[in-house]
Amino acid sequence: VEFLYCDLASMKSIRQFVQRFRAKNYPLHVLVNNAGVMLVPERKTEDGFEEHFGLNYLGHFLLTNLLLDMLKQSGTHSHNARIITVSSATHYVGKLHLNDLQSRCSYSPHGAYAQSKLALVLFTYQLQHLLTANGSHVTANVVDPGVVNTELYKHVFWVVKVVKWMTAWLFFKTPEEGASTTIYAAVSPEMEGAGGCYLYNEERTKSADVAYDEELQRRLWTESCKMVGISDEASRLP
């Protein structure tokens, strides 16, 4: 196991990380996008993005795109490289505000978190479309880990914290149980060559209806490229 520092809330840190990783000349077979914050008070990343959207979504969007050529080089016809992005059931109630992705008009911690998780699902589906169109040996899937007992809940109201403390053993998954579907997506032979799937409890299931809106997927992708300063590959496809 080798550790390289990367702050997903910093575009500069992401780019530095990619440079350091490239210098090692390793193949890249699996990328798991799993960083996140939840229900944080209104605040911005160093790049000026609303924190949920900037860290949970844009950080992973940039990281994935900067590593995409390495993933394509590492995947083969019989063993595709795999991208796994961790979303949440919260995406089902999320709304994507294309005219206000930074939640400047009205900020709600719940709304901003849900929007970031919906964005990850839309991103995964559009990414798989691009990978398929290019004939790449890379698959992209999105995972819902379920309700897991982690420090992610430190910003919820104190009453919720008390209830969580009392009931976690009964209703919450352990971190090991929460990781199982991500691991399944990363290594299971059953997922070889399968992309554009939403996985929960190691099974393919249906995501929110809005996540299948291809026009919304394209518009979010184009806007995301502008935000992080990369070229829009999707614009070159029919």
CATH number of the domain at 226, please. Answer: 3.40.50.720
Residue 180 lies in a domain: yes
Domain count, the chain: 1
Six-digit token string for 10? 């910093």
User: Is 6 a domain residue?
Assistant: no
Structural domain boundaries, residue 199? 11-236
CA separation for the pair 117, 109 (Å, rounded): 12
* Polymer length in residues for the chain: 238
26 carries an active-site annotation? no
* 1 lies in some domain: no
Which one of 5, 26, 57, 113 is the catalytic residue? 113
CB 114 within 8 A of CB 136: no
214 within domain boundaries: yes
The edge-to-edge listing of strands for the beta sheet with 81-86 is 30-33, 81-86, 138-144, 198-200, 203-205
Tens of pLDDT along the chain (238 residues) come to 899 999 999 999 999 999 999 999 999 999 999 988 887 889 999 999 999 999 999 999 999 999 999 999 999 999 999 999 999 888 999 999 999 998 888 899 889 999 999 999 999 999 999 999 999 999 999 998 865 445 544 445 434 444 444 455 445 657 677 688 999 999 999 999 999 999 999 899 999 999 999 999 999 999 999 999 999 976 555 4
From the number of C-beta atoms within 10 Å of its C-beta (0-12, 13-18, 19+), residue 39 rates as: middle
Predicted TM-score of the model (pTM):
0.88
